[in-house]
Structure 1
């Protein structure tokens, strides 16, 4: 008797099998046609309807899992791949596919680690996928370390990540991705010099890999070889000219080398690149009658009168009004296209605003923040920058309120709030906030420096230790955090 599914007489079983083969052939053709057009969501819906007559039919379940994965339906994909693994427990690719979704789409890092462990437990039976299983384990532990709020947890996850990635590298020293992620993990724990060796291996195997080149740039900047880093970045951009992650790093390097004016020019270039690639108002109007005016993207050219500018403040006011008048147009456009498009635009405006503030040009900074706020009014990044602007204008109570709002949304920026509290005389509260900040962001030299200032203001003997820690961390600090490099399987 068949205990794994319904029983049929022999003649019915043969007929059912023939019907299933015919159905599978139809669904295979459907998969080819829809996949070519990127219609994965529709394909997954069609395959889901086939499940009612596909008990233990591995091929259709596998196709469904892949279609759900491609459609971004991560929760369903993981469930289906687990069912596939139940049907074929000796196939190591199935738990790894589920782990890939856990890491990349769902951020279920503990679940991804468990799935990877099932493949590691297969040992040599996992074959060529064993190094990839260790890679997946290493990435899950590394990402959990970045999320950990307790120092002991973070250290334990970082240790496990290094062990798993070293094991993966020893099993397959010719895998460029494994070598790159081993280098990244070493960089994350500030073993900057040690990170260079596996990174050189990765680049010798895959010399134009975007993430390897970006990591090299950040490592060079951590060693304070900013000119060499910028030259390398030019090489990377020649191969990946429209990569905004690289362009944000270019802004930081140019600011370090040449000051804010040169970096602002790159922000201007980024706005134009964004407009060319993603202007939704332009793309929606194609073939739909008169073209709707596209969103106006350009950095302000007026000067703040407080800095001795020749331009009247009315120019600044009119430009701010123009920025705010586009809010409704931008808000309606924002509903079109993927969220990352608009997140990128917000980050460009906020980066420009940061540079203007560093240059003391507060009206221009306000213009940029208004543009970012038009996209995501309540994002923690916008609130933090509004708080910073209020602080620079001496509006300290307003700044604290904005910092508090930002921290309520996302737990970053404690060091900024802590320093403001110390600055306004609330030293003990500021010290507590900064102690929390160095627990969560243990490699942030700004947080350690802020804590040192708080302790120094009340004559504490631990202040010099904090300053020394800040100096040591600053000496190996890249222009942007190493975490800007994606960790995905």
Structure 2
């Protein structure tokens, strides 16, 4: 490389070398000119130093890109002359000819003369350079020479008649140039704290991309790993972030299953030498042109692509957060935008990877760390809103609006708060508001959800967006839920009319949306329009045959008919639902109820036992996705199952439902805390509640089959799980009623109503119990209260007709009987008034 000066010019040499390493090219040129004037025998060395200084000074000002080619041709003529003078015989004797050829290759690349640049590298015999220790400046020159050679090979096209062998050889030479350059670049950056520059960074990033283009995916991955295992320095921090992100993208896009090959662990020096050491970390280097690499006994090595991707993205996210610019001053605007762009890119990749594997907590933590430097960044806030809403959706929730202070309630509050904060930053984002509305509906905040859905509707109406049908759907769901929540008949009718209008508009705009048809069918059921509900259910199943809500509605509507063919269809729908949702409980519950009517009691009992076995097989927690089966329906009015045991009231959520659930939970927790020292640990909610419902279903089946003692045992099992549930008291009252134990039945129904004052089945059965006890006026008042709560229930009017007839009021009894016939004309009026189950 560059020869040492004689003793007479040693001081100049020292100053020049210092200026070169510091990239102080103006001073280096001045010192070289003084050296030339003072020592003519060092003229070749001076020519090289002057040409080098002028070339590097220009390149610091103007990057070697195509837009600057003409300028480079004008302004680098002087540098070209000096470097050409240094390549003569005197330059060879002085030892600067090799470096001059390398710099002339760099100069010609800046001037767009790629073939001339390759000629100079050929004259310098770049491919045959001996690997040995080099000074820092010489190390950079050689690294840039290999990088420029690869870039020139990319820019110069081979003739069309060139053989494939020549083309492959040229491609191999190009990749090798980039690989050697990347190794020398990393070594250079480890030895000095300077910026790599555009040329070296291009070489570092280019080699793996060429491997990918050639179809050598594993070679590209190994190249990324080689660069990432190099010891980090101040100069490589930003580069390592880019490499980690690109490697994660490659692994996520192109590597799955058996294609993946785990990285090899770098052997520590103690392992290489066969000796033991207690040092936790060592650095190793495989040669004078190889960068130092991390090596340690306890070094973590990923075992599969999932671990490696998450490790890369978490490390990249830590580096992006560390390098973030926090200052809001205008002078740091460009740096702040650049750091934010890097952080956003890594956060988006982390979201893709982590959500795919169910690691929402990682995404939320990452986005929360990004909050400190992403003030006003709409994208970060939107991502955080999506992540928190997904976490709230995934949180285990009881079959009612979550209790304040519970994990599910906290997740919903958090998600809704983030959505509210993000909305002003995204004024025209209807999807974000629909997401917030869905979260509000699930948490039981119906009015707030309606407000958000209407905001989304106004946005989409203003611009005619593609989400207009879904906005009408969410507005209809909100009104549907509000109608089921209120007890005011005027408000209920108004909300029902609005909901029906919104849902019909949604179906009109998108006739392939199974959710819209499902909620339309549900609304028709609420309005008593069963034929229209059946048509909407068929449309829902045509749009999506495995829709759980559609299958459930089909089973219920067909099961309510009296024709045998429809009974078989109802059974088929329930079995199909169980096939699509094998881990859900509701298909088995529906199937058991239908089997009791259309098959046999033994078949129904067998299905009930299968349901109980399914719940008992759960390992301490409920799979909320399969438990609800149709949780994707986003329907508050059908996704809350506080009254699932009652086939009448399950579709009619009252305002007191949430309060009743809270009372039951408080009483049950109080009872469990008192008996905790004596009793075995109880099953964790909501698993205990689902098991209790399964036992209550078995009790129903046993009662219908006349097995009163077996039903009593099932109720006792349910009471041990949820001792203060209104459904337990209700079913126990049915057991007493089946045994004609009317005072005990009355007490049980009253206890159920004390917890859930509007549980309709308990009110009707209490009225029937009063009738059996001979308390006719109490029976009349209770049944009229039930009729006021739910006027469309036929058995309420049937029982009231019998009570009025016993009171000697034939006119009023006839009116009640006519109402019962109008609501359910096929139901016999002579059924026993105190039947142990609601019809």
- Residue 294 (structure 1) aligns with: none
With over 3 angstroms needed to count, the CA separation of the structure-2 counterparts of 1:27 and 1:232, relative to structure 1, is closer
* Residues 1:398 and 2:744 are matched in the alignment: yes
Which structure has the larger Rg over C-alpha atoms?
A: 2
With over 3 angstroms needed to count, the CA separation of the structure-2 counterparts of 1:418 and 1:47, relative to structure 1, is farther
Aligned counterpart in structure 1 of residue 603 of structure 2, from 249, 252, 262:
262
Displacement over 4 Å in runs of 4+: 327-331
Further displaced range: 202-211 or 244-253: 202-211
Aligned counterpart in structure 2 of residue 409 of structure 1, from 740, 755, 761:
755
TM-score (norm 1): 0.79
* Residues 1:244 and 2:585 are matched in the alignment: yes
1:20-419 correspondence runs (5 A): 20-32=340-352, 34-41=354-361, 43-45=363-365, 47-72=367-392, 73-103=411-441, 105-122=442-459, 123-224=461-562, 225-276=566-617, 278-280=618-620, 332-335=681-684, 339-410=685-756, 411-412=758-759, 413-419=762-768
Q: CA deviation at 1:353?
A: 0.8
Q: Residues 592 and 605 of structure 2 are in contact (CA less than 8 Å); yes or no, is this contact kept in structure 1? A: yes
Q: CA deviation at 1:208?
A: 2.7
With over 3 angstroms needed to count, the CA separation of the structure-2 counterparts of 1:244 and 1:254, relative to structure 1, is same
SS in 1 for 2:501: helix
Q: Residues 786 and 796 of structure 2 are in contact (CA less than 8 Å); yes or no, is this contact kept in structure 1? A: yes
SS in 2 for 1:149: coil
Q: Residues 69 and 101 of structure 1 are in contact (CA less than 8 Å); yes or no, is this contact kept in structure 2? A: yes
Q: CA deviation at 1:129?
A: 0.7
Report the Cα distance in structure 1 between the residues aligned to 2:365 and 2:778, rounded to whole angstroms. 54
SS in 1 for 2:428: coil
* Residues 1:425 and 2:774 are matched in the alignment: yes
- Residue 445 (structure 1) aligns with: 794
Report the Cα distance in structure 2 between the residues aligned to 1:237 and 1:463, rounded to whole angstroms. 44
Q: Residues 347 and 363 of structure 2 are in contact (CA less than 8 Å); yes or no, is this contact kept in structure 1? A: no
With over 3 angstroms needed to count, the CA separation of the structure-2 counterparts of 1:156 and 1:249, relative to structure 1, is same
With over 3 angstroms needed to count, the CA separation of the structure-2 counterparts of 1:53 and 1:260, relative to structure 1, is same
What are the Cα deviations for residues 410-438 of structure 1, in whole angstroms up to 9, with x where unaligned? 22021112222233233333322222212
Q: CA deviation at 1:135?
A: 0.5
- Residue 470 (structure 1) aligns with: 820
What are the Cα deviations for residues 295-349 of structure 1, in whole angstroms up to 9, with x where unaligned? xxxxxxxxxxxxxxxxxxxxxxxxxxxxxxxx999962512xxx34333221111
With over 3 angstroms needed to count, the CA separation of the structure-2 counterparts of 1:345 and 1:474, relative to structure 1, is farther
Report the Cα distance in structure 1 between the residues aligned to 2:686 and 2:620, rounded to whole angstroms. 13
Question: Unaligned regions of 5+ residues in structure 2, if any?
Answer: 1-325, 393-410, 622-675, 828-839
* Residues 1:17 and 2:333 are matched in the alignment: no
SS in 2 for 1:128: coil
Q: CA deviation at 1:89?
A: 1.1
With over 3 angstroms needed to count, the CA separation of the structure-2 counterparts of 1:279 and 1:468, relative to structure 1, is farther
Report the Cα distance in structure 1 between the residues aligned to 2:612 and 2:678, rounded to whole angstroms. 17
With over 3 angstroms needed to count, the CA separation of the structure-2 counterparts of 1:382 and 1:420, relative to structure 1, is same
Q: Residues 56 and 87 of structure 1 are in contact (CA less than 8 Å); yes or no, is this contact kept in structure 2? A: yes
Report the Cα distance in structure 2 between the residues aligned to 1:346 and 1:433, rounded to whole angstroms. 28
Q: Residues 134 and 168 of structure 1 are in contact (CA less than 8 Å); yes or no, is this contact kept in structure 2? A: yes
With over 3 angstroms needed to count, the CA separation of the structure-2 counterparts of 1:8 and 1:247, relative to structure 1, is closer
CA RMSD of aligned residues (A): 2.8
With over 3 angstroms needed to count, the CA separation of the structure-2 counterparts of 1:209 and 1:231, relative to structure 1, is same
SS in 2 for 1:121: helix
Report the Cα distance in structure 2 between the residues aligned to 1:328 and 1:453, rounded to whole angstroms. 51
Report the Cα distance in structure 2 between the residues aligned to 1:174 and 1:280, rounded to whole angstroms. 39
Further displaced range: 21-30 or 262-271: 21-30
Q: How many residues in Structure 1 have an aligned counterpart in Structure 2?
A: 423
Report the Cα distance in structure 2 between the residues aligned to 1:419 and 1:45, rounded to whole angstroms. 57
Further displaced range: 71-80 or 229-238: 229-238
Q: Residues 151 and 439 of structure 1 are in contact (CA less than 8 Å); yes or no, is this contact kept in structure 2? A: no
SS in 2 for 1:332: coil
SS in 1 for 2:463: helix
With over 3 angstroms needed to count, the CA separation of the structure-2 counterparts of 1:466 and 1:54, relative to structure 1, is farther
Report the Cα distance in structure 2 between the residues aligned to 1:140 and 1:328, rounded to whole angstroms. 45
